[in-house]
């Protein structure tokens, strides 16, 4: 008994631990464990291949990530501790935390932070609610459902620039279609670009227009995974469609909703293109009172318009930290919701 | 079998990578080949491709100058890289200059950036002063592009002498004089007199029209004639003490607090629509804006626009062409720059789109395009702009000239004009903004 055990154990251990043993000695006898091969060099290559190849396959992403995300990120951190001007990149004077201190006392920074938050809320909340509603409607059996779904995705497919340009014309205070319509129902013209809430609303509406369909399709996909019998039993219990939506669909969608909330809040924190283009010439100011200047715009204005790269880098890192905080809040929120499920 | 397919796949991947890499390397080596062939004066087998980086519309392509140059120099081909917006163009150029790569062979520099280029990028540009007869250009134009040690880093392209473009038809309806010399006489010498004409206009203004497009345009025009701007001769910031800024601000405030402004932001889409719909009667127009007006107003403005001399001689805009030392074909680039900015070529650009030459010797023979003349009621635009160009005072620009100007026009003036703030509030807002710009 013991000897047979030893005999069984022996070849395996010798094959693993004996680069010096002649090839074939172990393998020839048993013919299992390693593929046929004339020499141990090959077998080592094979094992190395098994271990290393997966890393080689995922490497391109990480190399690109390292080159285009990680290095700039660290370089930005370095810049943020220096006084660097765009016109003299080679002259960097150590500034310590001055740039960050400067931000904390800057009205412009707090204003941008506040705007990012308010625009984020008034664009994300209605957007996701509308998306659920639309997904619910699309989930019914419809004639030509594919057409509706494709149409739903069209705004997302248009470029930010094109969408914003059209919206800018719609919202122009003199002769814009929105004001014309307001006039029609007896409301005076609103200066959409310069009024505080008007401009934020206008920017949000562009975001909502572009992303609602995208989120609706995500919801739709999740909705179609909900078992039909849940609806059937609900309808047997006498639930109407609205009640079904509220008590079957929404609870089942919870993980998907959380996902879209996380993605949308990250997107909202980085909001940049829409307000920049909505502002037209000198759009990076976000209006004469910075009423829709988001953090992204403020960073762009400091870095590329004013040329103060040190401060812009500090803003970039502050944004990064804020995103981390947002992520943590989302995580805590998710955990609590999971528990309550 | 299994291993062999895997290996062959890996080989294929390897081959693909290798092919890509050699492709990239080949790309590099081709460039350096170009560089060396260029030393021998550009031989027959390889054409030298010169790139020229511009922003907005320079008119070289429109006036057919590239084609003409390529016909004169068969071994050269020219590629223009246009960036529409200056605020996107300039940061890109700055970073490339400092990286020492990626610049075009010829780079355009806007007048608002020329001081920054002169003071911080002087060593990154070729000294063009040795290759040209500097006296061809307006003196103040040259001095803007000259470094402390006398290096000329850019050759002047156009300048922006100022006039007032006005709608004759609207003036007539408002019961004002429509004669360009009489009007010029009414506001001669002071922009506040121009504002006074605006008050007259508003008394009987045709429905839906305003006197001027924006308060900022009045500000820019008035400041363009001031010898003191934001910086003094020594490069110190004097923006809040400058007389030029103060009087331009006051004129702009007079417009912003009255109802004579259409409250448009220049170069925005609604501004273009304003031209098309004729919603404002005048606009301070530097020469380069002539073509713009003609294009945006379209048929509705034909023969209705007229041009009168501005209250003071002023300059707004204009550019330079520089040759970065990082360029691979410097000799050819210098030749092209010289040719493009020579009086004859500047005259051709003027004929095409009324960008006004910075070389006085071209003035005598200037001919605007026939349709432009007809469009602007046969006004002697050449004469008007030339008179202005010759008497513009020397102005000193600073490193942060553009951001300061944006802070004043797009924050300070806009708050008063569009949000109904008081001039004091507007000035304070501008002040905060400029402090932020200057890092104070």
B439 touches chain A (CB under 8 A): yes
Q: Which of A318-332, B54-68, B189-203 has the lowest mean pLDDT?
A: A318-332
| Cβ B155 vs Cβ B140: under 8 Å | no
Instruction: Report pLDDT for B437.
Output: 92
A36 touches chain B (CB under 8 A): no
Instruction: Report pLDDT for A341.
Output: 57
Q: Nearest chain A residue to B123 by CA: give it.
A: A88
**pLDDT: is A89 or B253 the higher one?**
B253
Instruction: Report pLDDT for A11.
Output: 42
Encoded tokens for B104: 């075009």
pLDDT at residue B40 greater than cutoff 50: no
Q: Chains A and B: how many Cβ contacts under 8 Å?
A: 91
Q: Which of A250-259, B153-162, B299-308 has the lowest mean pLDDT?
A: A250-259
pLDDT at residue B195 greater than cutoff 70: yes
CA B410 to the chain's CA centroid? 18
Instruction: Report pLDDT for A55.
Output: 92
pLDDT at residue B33 greater than cutoff 60: no
| Cβ B229 vs Cβ B242: under 8 Å | yes
Return d(Cα A313, Cα A317) in angstroms, integer: 6
Three-state SS for A287? coil
| Secondary structure letter of residue A261 according to DSSP | H
Question: Helices A250-269 and A309-340: crossing angle, nearest 10°?
Answer: 170
The set of residues, in sequence order, having a beta carbon less than 8 Å from that of A150 and lying 6+ positions away, is none
Instruction: Report pLDDT for A215.
Output: 96
Instruction: Report pLDDT for A15.
Output: 41
Of A172, A306, A311, the CB nearest to B270: A172
B207 touches chain A (CB under 8 A): no
Confidence band of B394 (pLDDT split at 50, 70, 90): confident
A56 touches chain B (CB under 8 A): no
| Cβ B171 vs Cβ B281: under 8 Å | yes
Distance set, CA A243 to CA A98, A225, A231, A260 (Å): 57, 19, 10, 23
| Cβ B210 vs Cβ B280: under 8 Å | yes
Chain A residues near residue B436 by CB distance under 8 angstroms: 106, 108, 306
Question: Helices B343-353 and B65-72: crossing angle, nearest 10°?
Answer: 150
pLDDT at residue B19 greater than cutoff 50: no
Q: Do A174 and B279 touch (CB under 8 A)?
A: yes
**pLDDT: is B440 or B420 the higher one?**
B420
Chain A residues near residue B116 by CB distance under 8 angstroms: 87
B377 touches chain A (CB under 8 A): no
Instruction: Report pLDDT for A13.
Output: 42
Q: ipTM value of the model? A: 0.83
Distance set, CA B62 to CA B53, B57, B76, B83, B160 (Å): 15, 9, 19, 16, 19
| Cβ B143 vs Cβ B352: under 8 Å | no
Confidence band of B122 (pLDDT split at 50, 70, 90): very high
- Average pLDDT of chain B is 89
B269 touches chain A (CB under 8 A): yes
Residues of chain A with pLDDT under 50: 1-31
Of A46, A89, A174, the CB nearest to B98: A89
**Spatial CA neighbour of A319 closest among A103, A22, A1:** A103
Q: What are the residue ranges of helices labelled H in chain A?
A: 2-17, 25-30, 40-65, 71-80, 98-104, 107-139, 145-157, 160-171, 177-184, 196-223, 228-236, 241-244, 250-269, 273-278, 295-300, 309-340
Count CB atoms within 10 A of the CB of residue A156. Answer: 16
Return d(Cα B33, Cα B47) in angstroms, integer: 11
> Residues 190-249, chain A: which have Cβ within 8 Å of B?
191, 193-195
Instruction: Report pLDDT for A334.
Output: 77
pLDDT at residue B74 greater than cutoff 70: yes
Count CB atoms within 10 A of the CB of residue A93. Answer: 9
């Amino acid at each position: 008994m013991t000897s047979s055990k030893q005999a069984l154990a022996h070849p395996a251990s010798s094959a693993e631990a004996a680069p010096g043993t002649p090839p074939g000695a172990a393998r020839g006898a048993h013919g299992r464990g390693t593929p046929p091969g004339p020499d141990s060099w090959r077998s080592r290559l094979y094992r190395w291949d098994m271990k290393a190849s997966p890393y080689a396959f995922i490497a391109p992403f990480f190399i690109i990530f390292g080159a285009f995300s990680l290095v700039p990120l660290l370089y930005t951190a370095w810049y943020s501790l220096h006084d660097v001007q765009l016109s003299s990149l080679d002259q960097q004077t150590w500034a310590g935390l001055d740039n960050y201190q400067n931000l904390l006392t800057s009205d412009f920074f707090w204003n941008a932070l506040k705007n990012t938050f308010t625009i984020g809320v008034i664009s994300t909340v209605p957007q996701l609610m509308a998306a659920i509603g639309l997904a619910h409607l699309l989930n019914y059996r419809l004639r030509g459902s594919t057409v509706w779904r494709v149409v739903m995705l069209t705004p997302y497919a248009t470029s930010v620039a094109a969408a914003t340009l059209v919206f800018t014309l719609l919202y122009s205070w003199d002769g814009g279609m929105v004001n014309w319509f307001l006039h029609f129902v007896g409301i005076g013209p609103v200066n959409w670009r310069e009024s505080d809430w008007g401009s934020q609303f206008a920017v949000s509406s562009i975001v909502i227009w572009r992303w609602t369909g995208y989120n609706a399709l995500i919801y739709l996909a999740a909705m179609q995974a909900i078992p039909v019998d849940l609806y059937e039993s609900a309808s047997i219990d006498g639930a109407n469609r609205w009640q079904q939506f509220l008590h079957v669909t929404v609870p089942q969608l919870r993980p998907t909703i959380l996902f879209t909330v996380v993605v949308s809040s990250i997107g909202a924190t980085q909001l940049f293109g829409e307000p920049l283009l909505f502002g037209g010439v000198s759009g990076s100011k976000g209006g004469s009172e910075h009423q829709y200047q988001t953090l992204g715009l403020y960073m762009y204005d400091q870095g590329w318009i004013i040329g103060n790269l040190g401060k812009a880098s500090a803003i970039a890192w502050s944004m990064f930290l804020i995103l981390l905080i947002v992520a943590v809040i989302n995580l805590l929120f998710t955990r609590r919701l999971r528990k309550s499920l | 079998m299994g291993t062999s397919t895997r290996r062959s796949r890996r080989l294929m991947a390897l081959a693909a990578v290798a092919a890509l890499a050699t492709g990239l390397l080949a790309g590099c080596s081709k460039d350096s080949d170009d560089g060396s062939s260029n030393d021998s004066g550009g031989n027959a087998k390889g054409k030298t491709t010169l790139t020229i980086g511009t922003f907005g519309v320079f008119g070289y392509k429109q006036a057919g100058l590239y084609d003409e140059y390529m016909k004169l120099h068969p071994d050269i081909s020219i590629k223009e890289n246009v960036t529409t917006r200056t605020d996107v163009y300039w940061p890109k150029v700055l970073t490339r200059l400092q990286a020492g790569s990626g610049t075009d062979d010829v780079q355009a520099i806007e007048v608002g950036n020329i001081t920054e280029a002169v003071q911080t990028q002087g060593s990154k540009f070729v000294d063009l002063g040795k290759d040209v007869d500097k006296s061809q250009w307006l003196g103040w134009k040259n001095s803007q592009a000259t470094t402390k040690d006398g290096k000329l880093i850019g050759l002047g392209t156009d300048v922006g002498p100022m006039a007032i473009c006005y709608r004759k038809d609207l003036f007539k309806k408002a019961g004002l004089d429509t004669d360009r010399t009489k009007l010029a006489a009414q506001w001669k010498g002071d922009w506040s007199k121009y504002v006074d004409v605006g008050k007259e206009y508003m008394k009987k203004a045709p429905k839906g029209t305003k006197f001027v497009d924006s308060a900022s345009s009045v500000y820019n025009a008035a400041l363009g004639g001031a010898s003191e701007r934001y910086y003094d001769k020594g490069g110190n910031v004097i923006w809040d003490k400058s007389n030029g800024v103060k009087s331009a601000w006051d004129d702009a405030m007079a417009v912003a607090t009255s109802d004579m402004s259409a409250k448009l932001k220049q170069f925005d889409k609604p501004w273009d629509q304003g031209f098309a719909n004729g919603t404002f009667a005048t606009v301070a127009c530097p020469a380069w804006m002539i073509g713009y007006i003609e294009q945006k107003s379209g048929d509705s403005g034909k023969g209705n626009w007229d041009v009168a001399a501005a209250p003071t001689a002023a300059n707004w805009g204009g550019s330079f062409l520089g040759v970065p030392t990082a360029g691979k074909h410097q000799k050819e680039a210098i030749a092209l720059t010289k040719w493009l900015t020579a009086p004859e070529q500047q005259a051709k650009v003027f004929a095409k789109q009324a960008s006004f030459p910075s070389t006085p010797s071209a003035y005598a023979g200037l001919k605007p395009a026939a349709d432009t003349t007809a469009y602007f009621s046969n006004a002697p635009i050449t004469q008007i702009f030339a008179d202005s160009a010759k008497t513009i005072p020397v102005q000193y620009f600073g490193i942060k000239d553009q951001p300061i100007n944006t802070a004043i026009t797009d924050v300070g003036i806009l708050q008063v004009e569009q949000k109904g703030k008081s001039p004091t509030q507007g000035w304070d807002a501008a002040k905060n903004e400029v402090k932020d710009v200057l890092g104070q």
